[in-house]
Structure 1
Amino acid sequence: MGSTIIVNDLRKHYGQVRAVDGVSFSVEEGEFFGILGPNGAGKTTTLEIVEGLREADSGTVEVLGMRPWPRNAKLLTRIGVQLQATSFFERLTAREQIRTFASLYGVAPKKADDMLGQVGLEDKADTPAERLSGGQGQRLSIACALVHDPDIVFLDEPSAALDPQARRNLWDLLRQINESGRTVVLTTHYMDEAESLCDRVAIMDDGRILELGPPASLVRGLESVTRISLETGTLSVESAAEIAGPGASVDDDGVSVTIGTDDPARVLTALAERNLLTGIQVRGATLEDVFLNLTGREYRA
Structure 2
Amino acid sequence: MCISARGLVKRFGNVVALNGVSFDVQCGDAVALLGPNGAGKSTTLRILAGLLRPDSGSAQVCGFDVQRQPREAKACLGFLPEDAVPFLNLTVRENLEYMAVLRGLGDSVVDEVMDLLELRDLARRMASSLSRGNRQRLAIAMAIMHKPKVLLLDEPLNYLDIPTQEKVIALLKELNSKGTTMLVSTHIMSIAERLTRRVIVINKGTVVWQGEINELRKIAADTGERIEEVVARLMR
TM-score by length of 2: 0.91
Q: CA deviation at 1:37?
A: 0.7
Partner of 1:160: 158
Is the Cα contact below 8 Å between 2:86 and 2:138 reproduced in 1? no
Structure number having the greater helix percentage? 2
* Residue 14 to residue 127, structure 1, CA distance change in 2 (3 Å): closer
User: 1: distance between equivalents of 2:85 and 2:114?
Assistant: 18
Runs of 5+ consecutive residues of structure 2 not aligned to the other structure: none
Partner of 2:134: 136
Is the Cα contact below 8 Å between 1:81 and 1:154 reproduced in 2? yes
Structure 1 stretches of at least 4 aligned residues deviating more than 6 Å after TM superposition: none
Q: CA deviation at 1:20?
A: 0.6
User: 1: distance between equivalents of 2:63 and 2:115?
Assistant: 32
Q: Give percent identity, aligned residues only.
A: 34
For the residue of structure 2 that corresponds to 1:221, the secondary structure is helix
> Does residue 289 of the first structure (1) align with residue 216 of the second (2)?
no
Is the Cα contact below 8 Å between 1:135 and 1:167 reproduced in 2? no
Partner of 1:23: 21
For residues 9-20 of structure 1, the aligned pairs below 5 Å read 9-20=7-18
Deviations 1:27-52 (A, max 9, x none): 01111111011111010111111111
User: 1: distance between equivalents of 2:71 and 2:119?
Assistant: 30
AA aligned opposite 1:293: R
Q: CA deviation at 1:115?
A: 1.5
Identify which of 56, 70, 92 aligns with 1:94: 92
For residues 1-301 of structure 1, the aligned pairs below 5 Å read 3-70=1-68, 72-222=70-220, 223-225=222-224, 285-286=226-227, 288-295=228-235
Question: Which gives a bigger RCO, structure 1 or 2 (Cα 8 Å, sep 6+)?
Answer: 2
AA aligned opposite 1:103: V
Runs of 5+ consecutive residues of structure 1 not aligned to the other structure: 226-283, 297-301
Q: CA deviation at 1:70?
A: 4.5
Is the Cα contact below 8 Å between 2:85 and 2:135 reproduced in 1? no
User: 1: distance between equivalents of 2:62 and 2:110?
Assistant: 25
Deviations 1:90-130 (A, max 9, x none): 34322111001111122112222222112222333233324
Is the Cα contact below 8 Å between 1:135 and 1:170 reproduced in 2? no
User: 2: distance between equivalents of 1:95 and 1:163?
Assistant: 22
* Residue 147 to residue 161, structure 1, CA distance change in 2 (3 Å): closer
AA aligned opposite 2:230: V
Is the Cα contact below 8 Å between 2:80 and 2:139 reproduced in 1? yes
Q: CA deviation at 1:71?
A: 6.1
Is the Cα contact below 8 Å between 1:52 and 1:69 reproduced in 2? yes
Q: How many residues align?
A: 235
User: 1: distance between equivalents of 2:147 and 2:217?
Assistant: 35
Is the Cα contact below 8 Å between 2:60 and 2:73 reproduced in 1? no
TM-score by length of 1: 0.73
* Residue 176 to residue 126, structure 1, CA distance change in 2 (3 Å): farther
Deviations 1:6-38 (A, max 9, x none): 111211122332211111110011111110111
AA aligned opposite 2:215: S
For the residue of structure 2 that corresponds to 1:145, the secondary structure is helix
